[in-house]
Amino acid sequence: MLSRGQGWFGALTVTLITVGLAILDLTDAPLRRWWEERDFTTSVIAGILVLLVTVVVVDRVVSIRQVKIALKPLAPKRRSS
């Protein structure tokens, strides 16, 4: 599991790469033609980005659940009436 800082750094990095590629695709005609000529490369890069986003999201969910589980025994017990 990644530390809190590593998880957010990873999420920010993947987000910036994805947004950067999307902006370049919209604004840079030569780059757009390059992507169109290389279908396999485009598919692989898109798949890797989706995988990275999935890993980051799953890591965050697991991290939050582990914190909740760790804090549960510390919660005061309620008295039954």
- Cα–Cα distance, 55 to 75 (Å, whole number): 30
* Cut 0.95: pTM above it: no
- Cα–Cα distance, 63 to 10 (Å, whole number): 14
pLDDT digits (tens, 9 = 90+) for 31-78: 888 888 888 888 888 898 888 888 888 888 888 888 888 777 765 666
Q: Which residue reads 């999307």 in tokens?
A: 22
8 A C-beta contact, residue 1 and residue 62: yes
Asked if the model's pLDDT at residue 16 lies above 60, the reply is yes
